[in-house]
Each structure stands twice: as structure tokens, then as C-alpha cells.
Amino acid sequence: MGAGTGVVGTSVNGIGVSGKGGRLAGLFEGAVEVTGDIRLANVEVTGDIRLTNADCAEDFDVGATTAAEPGTVMVIGADGQLRPSERAYDKRVAGVISGAGNYQPGIVLDKQESRQRRLPIALLGKVFCKVDAQFGAIAVGDLLTTSSTPGHAMRADDPMTAFGAVLGKALRPLTEGQGLIPILIALQ
């Protein structure tokens, strides 16, 4: 067995390589690397699926003029589009814009072509989030909710008011000021 490439297929506007078989159209032993998109139908996985990034996000419509960046806490607006949070304990909280710090979305749901501006909102998993400790120091494990600082979360001190407005749990502390910390998204 020699080194190099075994099969090459090239096409300008069609299919580069095609295979058809009764049970399997192809069999690969070893790692397979794909550069570009993969389109699949009916996938069966007999081993682990490893996603090397952090959160499960979903694309949502965001107003074209909305100033929001990764790490921003977002709420559902009256028009159904997301916008940065602006008030404490907002039950319309939807999640955090994914992609801040060294965490990128591991999977993005509802990815589609759209005329609207769409951003990935972390719904589950770890994400970096803008937080404000002026309303109380944030400790590891604290529940977080929206704050009156636009696009920021704060420690949720009032369990009754926080019901339905909890965004997640702090994974790192912030004793004062504003910052970007990792949180575990857990909408409640």
C-alpha cells in the first residue's frame, strides 16, 4: 500500500464521486475528514457523537438595527424578534448570544437562509455571558437572571420573582463590576 490519494473525483457543477451498493455504497476504515458542508438523510450512529464546542444554540431573528454581540442576554420582543434584555427578572428571557470567549456553539438548530438577521442563541450548555455584579457579587452556582443593565445578567436573589426568569448558573465568580463569565444555560 502506497501513500497518497486513492480516489479523486472532480466536477465543476455536478457530483464528483458517486457510489451505489445493495447494503453499503462505501466503507471507510479510519478517520474521514470533510471540508465543506455535509447533507445527510436517515443517519444511524453506532458510536459516540463528539461535538468539540460548548453549547446547543438555535438561530433566532434579531432586529437589523439591534446592537448585540456574543455574550449578550436576549429577550423576546413584542414582534417575536429577539433584543437585548433591559429590565431585571424579565420572564421573556430567551438565552445568550453564543460565541463569546473561547466557547463556540457545538450545534446550531434552525439554521436557514433568511432575509432577517439571525443570531445563534445558546439554549443549553456552557456559554460566556455578560454579567453585572453591582446588584450583588456573583458566586459559582448562583442562579442568574436578567438585569437592568442592557444585555447583562445578574444574581437572582428573589426566588419568587425569578421564577420563569432564570437564565442559568454561574460557573465562575464576579465580585464587582461588569464582566464576561462562563455560565451553564438552564432556562427556568
Q: Domain 55-185, what fold?
A: Virus Head Decoration Protein; Chain: A, (2.40.300)
What percentage of the chain reaches a pLDDT higher than 90?
62
> What are the residue boundaries of the structural domains of the chain, listed by start?
55-185
CA of 180: how far to CAs of 68, 90, 103, 125, 140, in Å? 14, 20, 12, 16, 14
Distance CA 67, CA 61 (A): 13
The pLDDT, as a whole number, for residue 107 is 93
125 band by pLDDT with thresholds 50, 70 and 90:
very high
CA of 160: how far to CAs of 7, 62, 77, 92, 188, in Å? 63, 30, 23, 16, 12
Q: What is the mean pLDDT of the chain?
A: 91
Question: Region 44-68: what's the mean pLDDT?
Answer: 86
pTM of the model: 0.82
| β-sheet bridge partners, residue 65 | none
